[in-house]
Structure 1
Amino acid sequence: MALPEGPLSHRYRGEHPVRTLLYLFHPDRRRVLLAVLAYFAKHTPVWLLPLITANIIDVVVQHRPISVLWWNAAVLLVILLLNLPLHLLYVRWMHGSIRRTGTRLRSALCHRMQQLSIGYHSRVSAGVLQAKVVRDVEGIENATQQTADMGLGAIATLTGGVLVLAVQAPVFLPVFLVIVPASALLVVRLRERLRSDNESFRVQVEQLSSRINEMTTLIPITRAHGLERTALRRVDRTLGTVLSAGLRLDLLNGRFGALTWILLNAIGVSCLAGSALVAYYGWMNVSAGQVVMLSAYFSTLTGSVTSLMSLTPVIGKGLASVRSAGEVLQAPDLEVNSGKAEVGQVRGRVDFRGVGYRYEGADRPSVGGFDLTVRPGETVALVGGSGAGKSTVLNLVIGFLRPTEGRILLDGQDMESLDLRSYRKFLSVVPQESILFEGTVRENVTYGMPAVTEETVRTALRDANALEFIDRLPQGLDTVVGERGARLSGGQKQRLAIARALIRDPRVLVLDEATSALDSRSEALVQQALGRLVRGRTVFVVAHRLSTIKGADRIVVMDEGRIAEIGSHAELLRSGGAYAGLQAAQLA
């Protein structure tokens, strides 16, 4: 399960989550086995202590050789001292395996997200995907760790205790095999009665969180209208409800704890009294030490069975997280490039032959009957109302979407037969909202291009009209721009996005509303930069402001996914068609 290939991408097909977990842990199977052995060895004192206690009591009561006492004490001391190194080995092997598995799973999810189509990403929010990578994997790690720690402890105690009973007091073994599970089941049933109350309290806490979030969001409105007391009264009512529910829950938990303690101890006293009577009247060959041992094993084994039964919700939650991650791992909406022809060079000719695209679940195509030939070095602008299909055409050019009918040819080759990853090395996109990450100016401009000289970077920034403000920044090219470029204005971020496109020297350029969100001064600077960027390149541009596309070689006017008219700015104005109507509406 090597990280670069993305584990599970070839195996996971909605199989049972337990099987998926076993597959995930397969690379660490030897470490997990060693961890289990180390845990059983380190846990020996827990189930061996009642036996050693019984032996020591019998030494005192029956006046056995004192050497028996020393031997028992020595054995217990040795296994106690071994607990530390064995526990560290267990943590290294088991917890390390869990952490590595979580890392592999996160890597698999990230690999899968990079392979999934843009259509998938448009349907599934980034927040949901982030939760799967962070919270669901964390849930799997926590559930696995709790199950390993508590489950192995319970199994080791049960195994050791039952073996000791089978050897030392076999006649009592059937009694324990009935009473211990019955007692544990009774405890779990009592606990289940609290589940609905705990769930109700959780819902009320979530409502409080929602109310607090609402209050903080509305603070500007609240303060502006002097409604502070009203807002506080709304929150106080919710706080009062949560307080009452919390107190009721505390009383229920307290009652449950007390009842459980009384129940288990009463059964324990009964076990102690019963075994003592057997020893007192000599009904069976039971020593005083064995009486104490039987009483201790009842408590120990009952606690172990209870622990195992209480793991059910923990395991269920972990398996739910596995299923949630599996929704991404088995998503079929992939961009498949393996085995397709790599693109070595691009001249920039793009032919649309009867292209259509219908989004999943849509009642009509977003684009239909689209026929257009774009020559190398030509600038083509797409205009039209909202929903006309402009962005769909751009996504088809980038290869984010594949035509549901017709073909798109790149330099005469069907794009369906090309490795689009290699094609995109010759393509750059300047979107409406420039996307920057929390790094330096240099890192954002040269993203994915580590071996770029400073002179090349500065030239790209100069051509993008960005150098004038970069040189005023505290650390120049090494200034950190903040998360999503928060320390820069909209125009500055857009000019950095243009520099990022320029430095790649693309043959095909896509401009998606690149100036729509800018003020007039920033727009002028960006337009100058775009003028340098488009030279000698095949350009597809979508612009809301028609004034920004006057210089396009051809303007394609779209309406409901189809081409309404094509021509230059002057030609379309003279024809008095849809474009002229759009122009008049903007000038009005």
Structure 2
Amino acid sequence: MDFDGRRPLRTTVRLLAPRKWRIALATIAFAAKDSPTWLLPLLTANIIDVVVEHRPLLQLWLNAAVLAVILLQNIPMHMLWVRQMSLIVRELGTDLRSALAGRLQQLSISFHTKAGASLLQTKVVRDVENVEMMLQQVAASGTSAVLTLIGALSLTAVRVPQFVPLFLLVVPATAGLVAMVRRRSGARNEEFRRRVEDLSARVDEMAHLMPITRAHALETEALHRVRGTVDEVRAAGHRLDLVNGRFGALSWVTYQLLGAACLIGAGWAAWSGFAPVSAGDVVLLSTYFAVLTNSVIGLFGLAPIITKGLESIRSVGEVLAAPDLERNEGKQTVTAVAGAVTLQGVGYRYADAAAPAVRGLDLDVRPGETIAFVGPSGSGKSTMLNLLIGFIRPTEGRILLDGVDMEHIDLRSYRKSVSVVPQESVLFDGTIIDNVTYGLRGMTEETVTRALRDANALEFVERLPHGWDTVVGERGALLSGGQRQRLAIARALVRDPRVLLLDEATSALDSESEALVQEALTRLMRGRTTFVVAHRLATVRGADRVAVLSGGRLAELGTHDELIAADGLFARLHRLQKV
């Protein structure tokens, strides 16, 4: 999608361009269905002149017939317009949301970490809704106002051309007012949007912290944090409302004064004979000026909605034009993974970090070998897992997969042979079978059953009311921590990965659940290249080698027993955990 958030108006036109024929059909339908707005004053003037000037009665019936036709055609033309505009707006909204979802899948993990889930949710839901609302309002009120202006000015030019200059005063007055509103309201709209995004993030944070908040009786503190952001939203919204209200009042008074001048001028012209103005023309001019005034006020009223919609286009552009992409196109596709991993002088420095998180790390891992990363907090363990899965790229050195530099590999193809079991398993609100086979199709019942059994999950799944068709709730809320973790292992088993990443997979469990999960992990790790991050050093006893990290460097490397015998950093950490 060709999207430039810095030029929202041009981007909007570009988004609508593929639908130009449907827009043309909708505009024609709208012009037909809205024609009574500017034709009724003309017909009214004709009927008044028939009565006042005693013209032939046939003219009365002809005007009545035209009136009936233009009123009755409104129904089919209105439905045609609604159908076409609904398709235009809803399809564009769908395209934007699909483009955002697709882009979010391409953006790096570091982008997601910095942006936050609630902010991105606001862009996908609220900002696209603002764009849809802008298009709907412009299509209805804007098109009506423009067509009414054209119709009323054209008929006035034919009937009483002397009054066209007065009517045209409305246009520059409106242009000036709208320009003032755009300039002032644009800044206020952006401020208001930022405050709403902050509130969304704060509410998301409050929801996640709810167990901690309740456990420590911190409800007042939590409310205080949210209330501060709510007050900022209120203040920003109030400032925006004042700007819109001030210019709304100014525009109304301006147009009412011009309307009164038009009525008095038409009456004077008819009484004095200054212009050939009939009684019907006085009504016509007065009505048309009111129609023109309302149309211009309607256009003026669209300014805040348009400003808000264009600001949302800019907001969406922050995602669609974000450069922080994981680039895989044109790179080598991996069809089979043996599991040999080689790190050569690998280092990584986070943006704006004072020192590298990992530096100068060399390691040669054989296929099927289990490597455990241990070390104090901040030693680089999580960074190592992110490097191995490709969430981040080394800023120095390189990582080889089966002898091929991962910089040249399409990581999406590599990850088809990878499974991750995190500290807290990630489940979605679906059935157990949906979660275990997520992203896989055609899994046989035998395969799923075996995966559940090997994950020590089959027994508790069969006890559930609906077996593996049981819905687990949002984030697996209806299951215990140990049950969720065993389902995560079953999800990994059913994929039969060649490379396995375990991130503190048992640290949050009780002793009984940990024993069941550890037993399942042992089955899962068998024959697979496995990288384990662990704080509890007793859990890495079965690793082929233990890599001890300190300050981002590889301090020690060996088996559990070798490192204990060496009496170095690992041994000291081991003794501290025993105390």
TM-score (norm 1): 0.88
Q: After the TM superposition, which residues 366-515 of structure 1 pair with which residues of structure 2 at under 5 Å, given as runs?
A: 366-515=357-506
- Offset, 1:218: 12
Q: Which of 69, 75, 87 is the aligned partner of 1:96?
A: 87
**CA distance in 1: counterparts of 2:558 and 2:208, whole angstroms:** 49
Matched, 1:327 2:344: no
Would you say the 8 A contact 1:366–1:388 is kept in 2? yes
Q: In structure 1, what is the equivalent of residue 553 of structure 2?
A: 562
Would you say the 8 A contact 1:382–1:555 is kept in 2? yes
**CA distance in 1: counterparts of 2:151 and 2:367, whole angstroms:** 79
**CA distance in 2: counterparts of 1:400 and 1:95, whole angstroms:** 40
Q: After the TM superposition, which residues 6-17 of structure 1 pair with which residues of structure 2 at under 5 Å, given as runs?
A: 11-17=2-8
Q: After the TM superposition, which residues 181-220 of structure 1 pair with which residues of structure 2 at under 5 Å, given as runs?
A: 182=173
Matched, 1:573 2:569: no
- Offset, 1:303: 1.1
Would you say the 8 A contact 1:40–1:156 is kept in 2? yes
AA aligned opposite 2:155: V
Matched, 1:365 2:379: no
Per-residue CA deviations over 1:442-462 (Å, capped at 9, x if unaligned) read: 110011112111121111111
Would you say the 8 A contact 1:180–1:302 is kept in 2? no
- Offset, 1:479: 0.3
Per-residue CA deviations over 1:336-369 (Å, capped at 9, x if unaligned) read: 1121111111111100011111112212111110
Identity of aligned residues (%): 61
Per-residue CA deviations over 1:101-136 (Å, capped at 9, x if unaligned) read: 010011111111111111211221011111111111
- Offset, 1:281: 2.0
Q: In structure 1, what is the equivalent of residue 142 of structure 2?
A: 151
Q: In structure 1, what is the equivalent of residue 543 of structure 2?
A: 552
Q: Which of 501, 508, 521 is the aligned partner of 1:517?
A: 508
Q: In structure 1, what is the equivalent of residue 56 of structure 2?
A: 65
Q: In structure 1, what is the equivalent of residue 156 of structure 2?
A: 165
- Offset, 1:271: 2.3
- Offset, 1:15: 4.8
Alpha carbons of 1:143 and 1:259: their partners in 2 closer, same or farther (altered >3 Å)? closer
Q: CA RMSD in A?
A: 4.1
Per-residue CA deviations over 1:227-266 (Å, capped at 9, x if unaligned) read: 999999xx99xx9xx99xx99x999999999998777556
AA aligned opposite 2:575: A
AA aligned opposite 1:387: G
AA aligned opposite 1:425: K
Would you say the 8 A contact 2:346–2:362 is kept in 1? yes
Per-residue CA deviations over 1:549-580 (Å, capped at 9, x if unaligned) read: 11111000001111000111111111110001
- Offset, 1:321: 0.5
Would you say the 8 A contact 1:12–1:20 is kept in 2? yes
Secondary structure at 1:110 match in 2: helix
AA aligned opposite 2:168: L
- Offset, 1:268: 3.3
**CA distance in 2: counterparts of 1:300 and 1:103, whole angstroms:** 36
Structure 1, 362-371 or 214-223: larger mean CA deviation: 214-223
- Offset, 1:206: 12
Structure 1, 198-207 or 468-477: larger mean CA deviation: 198-207
- Offset, 1:185: 6.6
Q: Which of 67, 70, 76 is the aligned partner of 2:67?
A: 76
**CA distance in 2: counterparts of 1:487 and 1:525, whole angstroms:** 19
Would you say the 8 A contact 1:516–1:544 is kept in 2? yes
Q: After the TM superposition, which residues 265-280 of structure 1 pair with which residues of structure 2 at under 5 Å, given as runs?
A: 267-280=258-271
AA aligned opposite 2:327: V
Secondary structure at 2:342 match in 1: strand
TM-score (norm 2): 0.89
Secondary structure at 1:471 match in 2: helix
Alpha carbons of 1:187 and 1:395: their partners in 2 closer, same or farther (altered >3 Å)? closer
AA aligned opposite 2:299: L
**CA distance in 1: counterparts of 2:215 and 2:425, whole angstroms:** 33
Q: In structure 1, what is the equivalent of residue 526 of structure 2?
A: 535
**CA distance in 2: counterparts of 1:118 and 1:389, whole angstroms:** 17
Secondary structure at 2:345 match in 1: strand
Secondary structure at 1:503 match in 2: helix
Would you say the 8 A contact 1:358–1:366 is kept in 2? yes
**CA distance in 2: counterparts of 1:498 and 1:136, whole angstroms:** 38
Structure 1, 375-384 or 411-420: larger mean CA deviation: 411-420
Matched, 1:306 2:297: yes
**CA distance in 2: counterparts of 1:254 and 1:197, whole angstroms:** 13
Alpha carbons of 1:33 and 1:366: their partners in 2 closer, same or farther (altered >3 Å)? same
Secondary structure at 1:276 match in 2: helix
**CA distance in 1: counterparts of 2:416 and 2:316, whole angstroms:** 31
